[in-house]
Amino acid sequence: MRGSYLALAVGAIAGIAALLAWWSWSETPRSSRLRPGVDLSPDSACDLRAAPCVSVVPSGGTIAFGIQPRAIPLIEPLALSVVLAGIDATTVGVDIVGIGMNMGANHKRLKSFGEGRYSGVTSLPVCIRRAMEWEARVTVSNGVKSRTIARYRFITTH
């Protein structure tokens, strides 16, 4: 009888460990779960409020990222757009993260509209800070062959 209690305890511990491992993996941003690739630094001259920003990929091609409306309001729908030139992709996604403050997971897999055009809709939560800095991480994946992350920074105010 004592052996069955021990087996039950070991099974329960293994189950809890598996649940914690799954939870940890599911909370990890999707862009960091993909295989290594090119990670482009944010361009300080980029202003998403003025126009889409373009990143040049060292191996060739460009990634253009834009947000509409240009005012980038909080808790309202935001249209995300990505245009790829000279880059093949199987999936394109955008993770938006708060800089200096965890604002929760905000991942959007974009829909392809052909000819390197992708788009989707998301929104940003209200922050207790009057001004909040964000980073949009555009992840372009080509199956198991390659992954490129282009980063774009912007600030919201309320």
Q: What is the pLDDT of residues 31-70, one digit of tens each?
A: 444 455 899 999 999 999 999 999 999 989 999 999 999 9
> Would the pLDDT of 147 be above 80?
yes
What's the gap between Cα 35 and its chain centre?
14
Q: Check residue 35 and give its pLDDT.
A: 53
| CATH fold of the domain at 35-157 | Immunoglobulin-like (2.60.40)
Instruction: Name the more confident of 157 and 51.
Output: 51
Percent of the chain with pLDDT strictly greater than 90: 63
To the question of pTM greater than 0.95 for the whole model, the response is no
Average pLDDT over the chain, rounded to whole? 84
Which residues are paired to 157 by β-bridges? 131
Domain boundary assignment for the chain: 1-33, 35-157
pLDDT at 23 over 90: no
- Alpha-helical runs (H) found in the chain: 2-27, 30-33
How many other C-beta atoms lie within 10 A of the C-beta of residue 45? 6
pLDDT of residue 1: 58
Does residue 113 carry a pLDDT above 60?
A: yes
pLDDT score of 144 more than 50: yes
Percentage, residues of the chain above pLDDT 70: 77
